[in-house]
């Protein structure tokens, strides 16, 4: 080698050493073939924490964790560098203070001019932050993959559950496209109408009874304009075997939902219920007609009876005048007159019952209950005053009912008069009237502190016609019978609770339909 070449090489080495020494974020140093440290730069000091005099001559195993040393990781790295000339790896390394960092390490084999191995150049960079970011990304990706897997499993499970629910639903489920063509039928469809999932050709209207087709078409025209809403229709469809049956269907237009994109139909067979309803309507119409015929016949009989009864009364009065001195005949005539008068009362009662049971001409109106009670008290004021009766009423939020005023008037008057008649003689009669509203009914309570009723003995016949449980009290046994008929004609019912010598409570139960619409004043 010439002097000039030697001088140039010396300059290059000085520049290289200067460059290596100036790198502060990269550890670059030399080790001999056995792994002992020969040089140290400022970057190595910054990364690993050792001063040059603390590490030169030391073995590089001080930078490895004990488990890595035991696994001969260092020897493996050097062997790979010897084999390939250069070897890059990553792993945990240890600083002087014992803390670990994730390092990117490059080993490069060094030879002299004669080709003999003189050691290795070792370049180390601290990539802990990058490692943390990568690990965080990996963790995020792993979590995302886990969630995707879980959600996918849930979707699959839900789909299977949904399919099983559909397939095992007792109701039939059919799916239609926008042209009303069937593209799915559940298993129950075949059980109900004979048509199964294999019979998915054709239009929804194809199996509808000819008399129902126009109505069904109008229904579908409306349904297609109302996405997301469910509507019901009952019509006849043709069974696969050819006969017709009634089905009740609930259609929901879900064509707008990309996950469904169908008109969903749930239906069930209501043929038996429909036939039973028609039979009930037929029987009801027949009973109504028979009842009207019976009422007309009874009215004619009672009307025609009153004329001869009036004649008998007149003739008995004439006979009594003509035989005024005949005591025996007078007693007979008096007995005859009393019997005829009783017959006349029975005929009048029969007419009253017929008026209650026949078609009502009175109009439905909003009836103020407090005002109604005031009117009743005024009409029976002499009875109330004579017996020193204390009547209290508080209807709470139920201030009025949408009903027949004449019926309500009769019901309350009969029950109030009944309580006064069956009072206890040794205490002041008290009648309390109150009400309660539930989610399904209106309850009105009429309570008194009267004699009470032996319900075990008289309960069965309490509301019967001419059934009386206390003959010491004047009456005909019609009041409670009339009350029961009128309450039932208003759609309600009446019950009673009573205890001897402690009083009685009648409970009137009416449907909520008797409540006036909100905002309408009496």
Average pLDDT over residues 277-295: 65
Q: Residue 360: its pLDDT value, please?
A: 47
Three-state SS for 13? helix
* Predicted pLDDT at 474: 58
Distance, in Å, from the CA atom of 495 to the CA atom of 479, rounded to the nearest integer, reads 15
Q: Which of 334, 499, 369 is nearest to 424 (CA)?
A: 499
Q: Rounded to whole angstroms, how far apart are CA atoms 235 and 223?
A: 16
Note the pLDDT of residue 13: 46
- Taking the alpha carbons at both ends of the chain, their separation in whole angstroms is 127
DSSP, residue by residue, 368-425: EHHHHHHHHHHHTHHHHHHTT-EEEEE-TT--EEEEEHHHHHHHHHHHHHHHHHT--T
Question: Could you give the percent of the chain with pLDDT greater than 70?
Answer: 71
Q: How confident is the model at residue 212 (pLDDT cuts 50, 70, 90)?
A: very high
* DSSP 8-state class, residue 102: E
Most confident of 162-171, 358-367, 372-381: 372-381
Q: Please state the separation of Cα 307 from the chain's center in Å.
A: 65
Q: Phi and psi (nearest 5°) for 284?
A: -65, -45
What's the number of CA atoms in the CB half-sphere (13 Å) around residue 166?
A: 16
Order across the sheet with 441-448: list the strands.
390-394, 430-437, 441-448, 503-511, 493-499
Taking only Cα atoms into account, the Rg of the chain, rounded to an integer number of angstroms, comes to: 53
Which of these ranges, 142-151, 167-176, 275-284, has the smallest mean pLDDT? Answer: 275-284
Question: Which range (80-94, 193-207, 331-345, 484-498) has the least confidence?
Answer: 331-345
Q: Pick the closest to residue 60 from 43, 39, 85, 46 (CA basis).
A: 39
- Residue-averaged pLDDT of the chain: 80
Is 390 in contact with 416 (CB distance < 8 Å)?
A: no
For strand 172-176 and strand 400-404, is the pairing parallel, antiparallel, or unpaired? unpaired
Tokens 């008995």, located at residue: 316
SS3 at position 342: helix
- Helices 479-489 and 327-357 cross at an angle (nearest 10°) of 10
pLDDT at 337: 66
Query: 9: pLDDT confidence band, cut at 50, 70 and 90?
Result: very low
| Residue 3 tokens, joined | 């002097």
- pTM, rounded to two decimals: 0.40
């Amino acid at each position: 080698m010439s002097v000039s070449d030697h001088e140039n090489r010396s300059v290059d080495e000085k520049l290289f050493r200067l460059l290596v020494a100036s790198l502060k974020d990269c550890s670059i140093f030399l080790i001999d073939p056995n792994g002992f440290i020969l040089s140290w730069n400022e970057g190595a000091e910054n990364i690993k924490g050792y001063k040059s005099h603390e590490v030169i001559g030391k073995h590089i195993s001080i930078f490895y964790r004990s488990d890595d040393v035991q696994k001969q990781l260092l020897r493996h790295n050097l062997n790979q560098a010897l084999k390939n000339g250069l070897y890059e790896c990553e792993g945990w390394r240890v600083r002087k203070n014992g803390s670990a960092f994730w390092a990117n390490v490059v080993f490069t084999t060094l030879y002299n001019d004669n080709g003999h191995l003189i050691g290795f150049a070792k370049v180390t960079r601290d990539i802990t932050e990058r490692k943390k970011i990568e690990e965080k990304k990996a963790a995020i990706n792993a979590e995302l993959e886990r969630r995707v897997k879980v959600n996918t499993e849930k979707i699959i499970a839900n789909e299977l559950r949904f399919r099983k629910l559909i397939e095992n639903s007792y109701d039939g489920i059919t799916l239609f496209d926008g042209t009303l063509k069937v593209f799915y039928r559940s298993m129950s469809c075949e059980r109900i109408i004979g048509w199964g999932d294999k019979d998915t050709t054709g239009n929804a209207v194809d199996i509808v009874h000819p008399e129902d087709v126009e109505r069904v078409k109008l229904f579908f025209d409306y349904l297609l304009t109302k996405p997301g809403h469910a509507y019901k229709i009952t019509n006849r469809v043709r069974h696969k075997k050819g006969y017709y049956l009634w089905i009740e269907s609930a259609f929901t237009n879900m064509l707008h939902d990309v996950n469904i994109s169908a008109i969903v139909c749930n239906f069930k067979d209501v043929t038996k219920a429909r036939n039973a309803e028609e039979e009930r309507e037929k029987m009801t119409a027949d009973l109504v007609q028979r009842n009207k015929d019976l009422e007309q016949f009874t009215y004619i009989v009672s009307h025609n009876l009153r004329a001869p009864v009036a004649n008998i009364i007149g003739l008995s009065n004439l006979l009594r005048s003509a035989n005024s001195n005949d005591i025996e005949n007078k007693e007979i005539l008096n007995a005859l007159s009393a019997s005829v008068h009783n017959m006349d009362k029975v005929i009048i009662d029969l007419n009253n019952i017929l008026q209650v049971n026949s078609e009502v001409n009175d109009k439905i109106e909003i009836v103020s209950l407090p005002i109604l009670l005031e009117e009743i008290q005024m009409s029976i004021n002499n009875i109330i005053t004579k017996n020193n009766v204390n009547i209290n009423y508080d209807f709470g939020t139920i201030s009025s009912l949408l009903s027949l005023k004449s019926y309500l008037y009769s019901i309350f008057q009969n029950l109030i008069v009944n309580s006064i008649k069956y009072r206890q003689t040794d205490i002041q009669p008290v009648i309390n009237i109150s009400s309660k509203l539930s989610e399904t009914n209106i309850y009105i309570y009429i309570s008194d502190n009267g004699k009470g009723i032996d319900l075990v003995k008289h309960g069965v016949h309490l509301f019967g016609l001419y059934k009386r449980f206390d003959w010491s009290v004047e009456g005909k046994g019609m009041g409670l019978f009339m009350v029961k008929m009128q309450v039932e004609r208003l759609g309600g019912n009446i019950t009673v609770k009573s205890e001897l010598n402690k009083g009685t409570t009648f409970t009137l139960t009416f449907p909520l339909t008797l409540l006036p619409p909100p905002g309408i004043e009496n």
